[in-house]
């Protein structure tokens, strides 16, 4: 499987190197077995090795198969006896693009891909990438950025909706409280003597106090709206 540039594979957290091997090679072999058992293909295993051991793609693919340079040269010669190679050839190809390495041809890359069961691009996936210099590539990235931005919630509109909901709830609560207070005052005045001015004055005072306490002020509604707005911005 070819791993696109910029999309590094992250193995499952359950895949760990738990075996204490007697040698580094045996340890890598056991590590590969665990990764393969978890369902990873060879390029994915190599990507893990590349990150774990800080090697390039060609070295990582060879290490993933558990081969030394001599062993992979033998694999090559068994497949293509008319084009024999030695470990030095693999050393040069793996050292490229450093000055001590040799650039592998497309034919060589094709045969290496066949040996390692991968795509040719997997062998040079860590090479130079100049796609960002392409105008169309930059435009595509810009469009993707705009699409992600459009997918975000409209914060001002959502805040206005929250404010409207808060005001509606406040008005409803005020109406309910006022209705309850009036009902209590009516019940109190129903049994109070008609000429008891003190009782009536007390009822009227209590009615005014309860109504004032039950109605949210404009600053209270504004504070609730601001808090809701801040919460939505934090989630976004």
**Residue 38 near residue 72 (C-beta atoms within 8 A):** no
User: CA 23, 39, 16 angle in degrees (round to 5)?
Assistant: 40
| pLDDT at residue 135, rounded to an integer | 83
**Residue 64 near residue 46 (C-beta atoms within 8 A):** yes
The contacts of residue 15 (CB under 8 Å, 6+ apart) are 34, 35, 38
- The residue count for the chain: 236
Which of 230, 210, 218, 234 shows the shortest CA–CA distance to 166? 218
Residue 134 sits at φ, ψ, to 5 deg, of -80, 125
| DSSP 8-state code for residue 2 | P
**Separation CA 79–CA 226 (nearest Å):** 72
**Separation CA 35–CA 176 (nearest Å):** 65
| pLDDT at residue 132, rounded to an integer | 80
Q: Of all residues in the chain, what percent are helix, strand and coil, respectively (each to 5)?
A: 70, 0, 30
| DSSP 8-state code for residue 134 | S
The rounded average pLDDT for each run of 10 residues, N- to C-terminus, in the chain (236 residues) is 53 51 81 94 95 95 96 98 97 95 96 97 89 83 77 53 62 62 59 55 63 55 54 50
**Residue 155 near residue 206 (C-beta atoms within 8 A):** no
Instruction: State whether residue 91 is helix, strand or coil.
Output: helix
Instruction: State whether residue 7 is helix, strand or coil.
Output: coil
Could you identify the residue written with the tokens 């590094």? 8
Which of 143, 144, 79, 65 shows the shortest CA–CA distance to 111? 79
pLDDT, tens only, 79-127? 999 999 999 999 999 999 999 999 999 999 999 999 999 999 999 988 8
- Show the beta-strand stretches assigned E in 128-210: none
């Amino acid at each position: 499987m070819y791993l696109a540039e910029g999309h590094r594979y992250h193995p499952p957290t359950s895949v760990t190197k738990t075996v204490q091997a007697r040698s580094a090679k045996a340890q890598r072999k056991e590590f590969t077995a665990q990764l393969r058992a978890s369902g990873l293909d060879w390029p994915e295993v190599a990507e893990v090795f590349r990150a774990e051991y800080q090697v390039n793609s060609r070295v990582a693919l060879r290490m993933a198969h558990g081969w030394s340079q001599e062993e992979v040269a033998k694999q090559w010669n068994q497949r293509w006896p008319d084009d024999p190679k030695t470990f030095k050839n693999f050393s040069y190809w793996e050292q490229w693009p450093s000055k001590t390495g040799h650039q592998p041809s497309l034919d060589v890359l094709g045969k290496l891909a066949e040996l390692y069961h991968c795509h040719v691009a997997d062998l040079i996936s860590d090479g130079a990438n100049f796609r960002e210099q392409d105008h169309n590539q930059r435009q595509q990235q810009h469009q993707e950025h705009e699409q992600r931005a459009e997918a975000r919630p409209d914060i001002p509109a959502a805040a206005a909706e929250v404010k409207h909901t808060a005001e509606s709830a406040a008005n409803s609560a005020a109406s309910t409280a006022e209705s309850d207070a009036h009902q209590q005052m009516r019940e109190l005045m129903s049994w109070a003597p008609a000429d008891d001015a003190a009782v009536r004055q007390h009822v009227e005072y209590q009615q005014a106090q309860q109504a004032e306490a039950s109605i949210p002020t404009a600053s209270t509604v504004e504070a609730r709206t601001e808090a809701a707005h801040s919460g939505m911005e934090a989630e976004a």
